[in-house]
Structure 1
């Protein structure tokens, strides 16, 4: 690898590292918000999952995926994983109440 290629690769990797950090901070903020939702749902004896909302969200996110050039399949899998963790936490919160 030439020096210019090494520098370019290092620059790309630094950008990727920064983006990974930003993603984790955004996810942490999302989970802080969903934690509040979980407590509210528990106080109101609401179910941990809202299938209709999840359907609307997946539809909305599939459209965004198309707009930004991401695979709908990837985005759907990612969101199902995130929502699954949220629902599990909501159930834990409800069980604690």
Structure 2
């Protein structure tokens, strides 16, 4: 019986590895989103987009027989981290604009 548990835990470890790699890829994409928002002067937080992501999470939960509240909370956590990353990218872009060309880094 415990042999089956070990196999299942190994399977879970593999799924976690794939999941975390996807989260990493998502955050790298978020960095590119932040760079574009910085270029065009768009605010980081977009309430309409946040609501859409939550709606999509709830729909996917229903589609796959998962708990809606859980997937919406997960989407909210991902968006919270996305906002943190985008704000850092925008702040860095703003700092870069304030530095004179060819100035040494500080």
TM-score normalised per structure 1: 0.91
Q: Per chain length, whose mean CA-contact separation is higher, i.e. which structure has more relative contact order (CA < 8 Å, sep 6+)?
A: 1
| RMSD value, Cα | 0.9
Aligned residues: 93
Regions of 4+ moved over 3 Å: none
Q: Is the 8 A contact 2:53 2:75 kept in 1?
A: no
* Structure of larger gyration radius: 2
What are the Cα deviations for residues 7-61 of structure 1, in whole angstroms up to 9, with x where unaligned? 1101110110000000000101111111100011011110001110111121111
TM-score normalised per structure 2: 0.83
For structure 2, the 5+ residue unaligned runs are 95-106
For structure 1, the 5+ residue unaligned runs are none
CA distance in 2, matches of 1:26, 1:89: 16
